[in-house]
Structure formats: structure tokens, C-alpha cells
Amino acid sequence: MKNLGLIIRREFLTRVRKPSFIILTLLAPILMAAVMFLPAYLATLPGDEKVITILDESYLMDIYDKGNEEISFKYLNPKDFDFETAKALVEGREDYAFVHVPVSEGGDPDFIARNIRVFRAGDLSLSVESYLERSLEKYIQKEKLKAEGVDPEVVARTKTQVNLRIINTEEGRETENATIVKMGIGYVAAFAIYLFIFIYGAQIMRGVIEEKTNRIMELMVSSIRPFELMMGKILGIGALALLQFVIWIGLGLLIFTIFTAVFIDPSLSSGTAVQMEGMNALPDNAAFDIYRSLQSIPFTKVLLSFLYYFFGGYLLYGALFAAIGSAVDKETDSQQFMLPLTIPLILSLIVILRALDNPDGSLAVWMSMIPLTSPLVMMARVPFDVPTWQLLLSMGILAITFFGSVWLAAKIYRVGILMYGKKPTFKELYRWTRYKN
């Protein structure tokens, strides 16, 4: 155990003093926030104005409909232009697109719908195509209503938009629905575990390969057992990951505290304010709605589960990464062994999208029991307050599999670190596991 402690200390201190670790720890939350919010922000930026010229020979559209902020409609008078002259005019002006609405046959709106054509020198933007379709469908629907003797204005006045107020009555308590918030927490937690497994698993593998290449490994195994060496490296790098995680949690709590202090009225965040009877009397406050939704989430359960699956997943995959590193001489030789580890993680990322939409579905439940996928899939389900027995069963299976993977990895590791100049196969790795001490 003394040697194990020394190895853990060495692995931790060697990496924590690196400038790259300090920079990544401080900048990663900012970069992750940028990755999450920058695409949404960029999507809200106005684009270049697109001028679309329309020749409406059926007088279907309202000439006062000028489009929206990005798409500008300009109408040609059918009395002054026919199709050919209008098309030539548009090509000369280099407008974004030209729309031709033909004359209706016998006043049939469906004929118009089937024969509207859009001309453009190049591919049409999907957003423009969607906007044109919605606009034209609206006008054609009006024509159909007129044909049936129904006043379109009456129909427009009867349209109603319903905004459902969803109340969660689980465990006899009435709380505000927080599905979107839970989906966000589940996805971020699962994706964080995915990143940690890959980043720190790769560090373990590279560390083993580097020490093996430098022949440092031969000196170390003369005084330390290979199992202690492998576990020391895994636990030392795991402690480094824990430190980084604690710092990120601290920064997150600091941001949350500042958010609630700035945007939440203290009188609204009192315990009585969350009672449903009082909700109707509260003012409309978007920030308070978010705060109220957060109170329905089992944060203690989410945090403890995250720590368990974070370390459970890391230790499970970390042992296998160490075994792969010991079996090869160069990182490029590790690709053939990486595939069996990568497939479950990629599959987990795909499944968590289903799990977030239906956390109690059969696929989500079964995948959260399989140890190679449970760290991500179960973590995506936990914010939805999964049954305790499912959580405990998943944790138990993961723990048993972890001990099995460490036992298997240790057998490969003790042989692999002393093997040089040969590319092993899966068959050879299996033979290594059968060697006796």
C-alpha cells in the first residue's frame, strides 16, 4: 500500500503542476458554455437580406406582405410583365430568387399549389423554402375557404393558441414541470462523463506507453508490483480529474449564486412562494420560473449519482485503457484495441437522446443496466427521479464489472509492460490473461 500511495502521489503531482492543466481547468467552463450557447446566439443574428421577386398572375398574394426581416418580397404587376420578361428582369438584377404563381384554371386553388415554381441560380436555402411554403399555403387556404363560402377573417378570429401549464403531482406534491431543465442537466452530466472517460482514459494509456517506451517501466517493476503500478496510475489521474471536477462545480455554484442574487427577488424565493396556491398571485417572472423548476429536481441524488458514475465509469474504462497502453509500443498501434471501447460510448451518446425523451422506456432501462453504457445512460435518467431499485441495481452491476475489468486488465498489464517489438492480437491478449504468476 505504501508503494501504491507513492505512485498515486507521483501521478497527481506530475500532472497538476503542468500549465496545461491549470489553463484547461480555468478555461474549460468558459469554452463549454461557448460551445453550448454560441450556436444558439449565432442563430439569432440577422442574416443578409434576400430579395425575392414574385410574379403573381392569380393575384393570390397580398401585395402588402413584404416578407420578414431576412426575406423581402417584391411584386411585379402581371399587367406589365409576362413570365419570360419577368424572369429576364430578375436575372439581370441578380435577385435571390424568382417566384412564378401561374393563372388558376377554373379558379382551382390546388392547380396553383401544384404549379408554383421558384427559380434561383444555385441551391435554395431551407429556411427560405420553408418560409415561402408557409406563406403560399396561407394564401391558398384562404382561396379554398372563399370557394367553400367561408369568410377567412372569421376563421382567423377563431384561431386559439393553448399554452398548457403542466403540474407535476409526483409523491403527492404539486410542483412546476421541469422537463426541459431535467433534460439539460441529464445531457450535460452524461456528456461530461463521456469527456472525462475519453480525456483521462487517453492520459492513462499515453502515460503507460511513454513509460514503456522510455524503459522507465522496467526500473519501476523491479521494486513495485505491476498491479500497484497500474492502480496507482489510474487512481492518481482519477484524483486529478476529481480536483478539476470540484473546481468546475465551485465555479458553477458561484455563477448560480450570482444569478439568483441578481435576477431572483428574495421575497419570491422563500419557502412559501413555491406553494401552488401562491403561484397564481405571483407576478410573471421568467427568472423565477426557472428557479421554481430547479426546486423540483433532486439535486442531492443527481450529485451523488454523478460522482458514482463518474468514478465508476472512469475506473472501468481507465483499467482497460491501461491494459491497452501496456500491450503496444506506439499510440498508433492502439487503434485496433480502441474500437471495442469506443463503440459502447458512442452508442451511449445515441441512446441518451431516447432516454431523455422517455426515461422509463425499455431501451433506456436496459441500457442503464449494461455496465459499459450505464455511466452515461443512467446519468441521463437520474434527474427524472428513477426508481431507487433500478439505480442500486445499475450501481451494483457497474461495481462488479469494475472489479472484473481491473482483474482482467492487471493480467494483461503485468505481461504487456515487458513486451517489446511485437504487435499483439486479441488472441494473444487472451493468452496473456491465462499466464500464471
User: Measured between alpha carbons, how far is residue 70 from residues 46, 50, 96, 127, 342 in Å?
Assistant: 7, 6, 11, 10, 43
Q: Could you read off the pLDDT of 354-369 as tens digits, one per residue?
A: 888 888 888 999 999 9
Instruction: Give the other-Cβ count within 10 Å of 414's Cβ.
Output: 20
Question: Global pTM?
Answer: 0.68
**CA 377, CA 363: separation in Å to the nearest integer?**
10
Domains of the chain (ranges, CATH numbers): 1-31+175-265+285-433 (no CATH), 50-158 (3.40.190.10)
Give the pLDDT score at 248.
80
What stretches of 295-373 show up as alpha helix (H) in DSSP?
A: 299-327, 335-357, 362-367
Q: Could you read off the pLDDT of 2-37 as tens digits, one per residue?
A: 677 888 888 888 888 888 888 878 777 777 777 767
Give the pLDDT score at 38.
74
Instruction: Give the other-Cβ count within 10 Å of 216's Cβ.
Output: 11
Q: Could you read off the pLDDT of 205-249 as tens digits, one per residue?
A: 888 888 777 777 667 767 777 777 788 888 888 888 888 888 887
The H or E element spanning position 54 is strand 50-56
Most distant CA pair in the chain: distance in Å? 97
Q: Are 419 and 325 in contact (CB under 8 A)?
A: no
